Amino acid sequence: MANRKVLVTGAAGFIGAFLVKKLLEETDDTIVGLDNLNSYYDPGIKEARLRMLAEVDTDGRFAFVRGDLCDAALIERLFAENGFDVVVNLAAQAGVRYSIENPRAYLESNLVGFFNILEACRHHPVKHLVYASSSSVYGGNKKVPFSEEDRVDSPVSLYAATKKSNELMCAAYSKLYSIPATGLRFFTVYGPMGRPDMAYFGFTEKLRRGDTIKIFNMGDCRRDFTYVDDIVEGVRRVMGAAPEVKMGEDGLPLAAHRVYNIGNSHPENLLDFVDTLQRVLVEEGVLPRTPVKHFVAGISAGIIDDAPMLDLPYSEDSRAMVDLNCVMNELGEIIELQGTGEGRAFTAREQQELVELCAKGCRELIRKEKDILGEVL
């Protein structure tokens, strides 16, 4: 369909912005973009996406409206004034973990906001309503790969429950008011200018700071990472393929409603993902070639026949009156120190003599480490 009037909600969001960009570049559509630019994550990222769209919109086919889905009067006005052919509802409160702490935000945006869209499509008929669902609706399903025919009645988060509710609400509106509609279950979307709360950004920041990345379930965790361009291409194709409104045997219209998965169909182990991420960050110079901050060495010293000795072999260690184990870094700082009076007590002065011996031994070991590993590091 040429010269369509299209509404994209969540137009400053990750998927929404790249969808608008693709429509501007590859179609003659006139597009209205709606977004409330909320502070769930840095609004500066959303503003940067809008600047990207302004650069692409060379012929003035994109109009941005800052507003909220929950504003029923605004939604009604937009539909009445524009007569949309296609509506793509991508606006939603995202984030599974955030839904645990802020449930009201999800009910308002994902349920009330979507209800306003459905009502507007009811009173101002559109040729196709496309909306974002989520792979999270599959909840705790053990069967893989996921299929649109699988049961999705056991959500494990409020976010998932709201997305399943969207599917049920839309199916009902589709049947009652003959609204052609398609729901798309997205799988772990990634790409440039993505949401900073997504794993690949969070993991990158932790790696840069030298923090620990927490991976649960003993690392047995897989994600179907899907590049944003593939998601957007799927949405674009679906937009032009509305379900046909058909009549049932009872003479009443059937629901012209479909649901599709859009994913990569190749789940990746999260440990492999972290390993790949770290390797690429090293190749791009974001991380040093080694996470080692300082060379480290450990050595032992002891007192045998009242004489301090370094690097004791077992035959000498076993008859040492005092035994001291020391781990140091190349700065001479002590990481671990353990001294034991095996045959007698020892003085602070004797301990200091043994520490100085260990420091000498650690320096020599670190020199050898650097000789061997220097080219690798």
Residue 356 backbone phi and psi in degrees, to 5: -65, -35
**CA end-to-end distance (rounded Å), the chain:** 58
Angle, alpha carbons 259-21-186 (nearest 5°): 25
Alpha helices (runs of H) in the chain, residue ranges in sequence order: 14-26, 43-56, 72-82, 96-101, 103-106, 114-123, 158-177, 199-209, 228-239, 270-283, 314-317, 348-373
Is 159 an annotated catalytic residue? yes
Tokens of 127: 């040729």
Beta bridge partners of 5: 30
Q: Given the residues 40, 159, 173, 190, select the one marked as catalytic.
A: 159
Nearest alpha-carbon partner for 239 in 161, 331, 333, 126:
126
Contact by Cβ (8 Å): 170, 118: yes
Residues 219 and 271: their CA atoms lie apart, in Å, by 6
Q: Which of 1, 71, 64, 58 is nearest to 29 (CA)?
A: 1
- Cis? peptide before 145, omega within 30° of 0: yes
Q: Looking at the annotation, which residues are catalytic?
A: 159
